[in-house]
Structure 1
Amino acid sequence: MKRKRTRTPQRHLNMAKSFLSETQRAALTLAVCALLCVLGMAALAWPRTNIGLLAMSLPGFVSLAAQTQTPQESAAAAMTRPADPAFSVKVRPTETQAPPQSQSPRPTPTPENEPLVLIYHTHATEAYFPTENNPYTPSGSWRTKDNGKNVVAVGERLAEELRKRYGICVLHDTTNHEPPKLSSSYSRSEQTMRKYRDEYPSLILYIDLHRDAYGNNVSESTDFVTIDGKQVARMMFVVGTGEGAMGTGFDEMPDFESNHALAEQITAYLNTIDPRLTRNVRVKTGRYNQHIAPHCLLVEVGHNANTLEQAFAAIPYLAAGIADAVESICSGADTKTTMPPNAWVAEE
Structure 2
Amino acid sequence: MRGKRLLALGMAVFMMTALLTMQGMKQSSNGELQLTAADVGKMCLSGSLMVGSRGSQRQQVPDSQQGESQQEVDASKEAENGAADAAAAQEAPAEAPAVVDTQDADNPSPQTINVDNGKPLVIIYHTHATESYQPASDGNFHVIQEEGTVREVGNVLTAELQKKGIQVIHDKTIHDNPSYNQSYSRSLETINNLLAKYPGASVVIDLHRDAAGYSGGSGKTTIVNGETVAKYNLVVGKGNPNAEKLRIFGNTVNKKAEEMFPGYGGRIIDKEYKFNQYVSDYHMLLEIGNNENNIREADACAKYFADVLAEVIQENSN
TM-score, normalised with respect to structure 2: 0.61
Partner amino acid, structure 2, of 1:179: N
Alignment of 1:224 with 2:221, yes or no, is yes
CA distance in structure 2 between the partners assigned to 1:329 and 1:183 by the alignment: 37
Equivalent in the alignment of 1:117: 122
Equivalent in the alignment of 1:259: 246
8 Å contact kept, 1:254–1:292: no
CA distance in structure 2 between the partners assigned to 1:329 and 1:283 by the alignment: 24
**Cα offsets for 1:246-267 (capped at 9, x unmatched):** xxxxxxx441121111100111
8 Å contact kept, 1:221–1:305: yes
CA-CA distance at 1:210 after TM superposition: 0.6
CA-CA distance at 1:137 after TM superposition: 6.8
CA-CA distance at 1:275 after TM superposition: 4.2
CA distance in structure 1 between the partners assigned to 2:137 and 2:291 by the alignment: 15
8 Å contact kept, 1:206–1:295: yes
| Aligned pairs (5 A) from 1:165-176 | 166-176=164-174
8 Å contact kept, 2:219–2:230: no
8 Å contact kept, 2:184–2:276: yes
Alignment of 1:152 with 2:151, yes or no, is yes
Equivalent in the alignment of 1:13: none
8 Å contact kept, 1:117–1:169: yes
Q: Cα–Cα, structure 1 residues 326 and 279, in superposed 2: closer, same or farther, change >3 Å? A: closer
Equivalent in the alignment of 2:231: 234
Q: Cα–Cα, structure 1 residues 254 and 275, in superposed 2: closer, same or farther, change >3 Å? A: farther
Partner amino acid, structure 1, of 2:275: Y
CA distance in structure 2 between the partners assigned to 1:307 and 1:315 by the alignment: 13
CA-CA distance at 1:276 after TM superposition: 3.0
Q: Cα–Cα, structure 1 residues 218 and 196, in superposed 2: closer, same or farther, change >3 Å? A: same
Q: Helix, strand or coil: the match of 1:305?
A: coil
Alignment of 1:302 with 2:289, yes or no, is yes
Q: Helix, strand or coil: the match of 1:110?
A: coil
CA distance in structure 1 between the partners assigned to 2:238 and 2:219 by the alignment: 32
Q: Cα–Cα, structure 1 residues 227 and 294, in superposed 2: closer, same or farther, change >3 Å? A: closer
Q: Helix, strand or coil: the match of 1:291?
A: helix
CA distance in structure 2 between the partners assigned to 1:184 and 1:160 by the alignment: 30
CA distance in structure 2 between the partners assigned to 1:146 and 1:281 by the alignment: 30
Equivalent in the alignment of 2:304: 317
| Aligned pairs (5 A) from 1:71-86 | none
CA distance in structure 1 between the partners assigned to 2:314 and 2:159 by the alignment: 18
8 Å contact kept, 2:219–2:289: no
Alignment of 1:269 with 2:256, yes or no, is yes
| Aligned pairs (5 A) from 1:127-138 | 127-130=132-135, 136=136, 138=138
Q: Cα–Cα, structure 1 residues 187 and 222, in superposed 2: closer, same or farther, change >3 Å? A: closer
Which of these residues, 204, 212, 217, is aligned with residue 214 of structure 1?
A: 212
CA distance in structure 1 between the partners assigned to 2:202 and 2:245 by the alignment: 12
Q: Cα–Cα, structure 1 residues 114 and 220, in superposed 2: closer, same or farther, change >3 Å? A: same
Equivalent in the alignment of 1:288: 275
Q: How many residues align?
A: 205
**Cα offsets for 1:278-329 (capped at 9, x unmatched):** 3321111111110112211101111110110001111222001211222244
Larger Rg computed on CA atoms: 1
Partner amino acid, structure 1, of 2:291: N
Structure 1 ranges of 4+ moved more than 4 A: none
TM-score, normalised with respect to structure 1: 0.56
Equivalent in the alignment of 1:247: none
The root-mean-square deviation of aligned C-alpha atoms, in Å, is 1.8
Structure showing the higher helix proportion among its residues = 2
8 Å contact kept, 1:254–1:290: no
CA-CA distance at 1:181 after TM superposition: 2.2
Structure 1 unaligned spans of 5+: 1-86, 88-108, 131-135, 243-252, 332-348
8 Å contact kept, 1:240–1:254: no
Alignment of 1:201 with 2:199, yes or no, is yes
Q: Cα–Cα, structure 1 residues 232 and 191, in superposed 2: closer, same or farther, change >3 Å? A: same
Alignment of 1:126 with 2:131, yes or no, is yes
| Aligned pairs (5 A) from 1:17-32 | none
**Cα offsets for 1:104-153 (capped at 9, x unmatched):** xxxxx634x210000000000111121xxxxx472x21111111210000
CA distance in structure 2 between the partners assigned to 1:179 and 1:222 by the alignment: 25
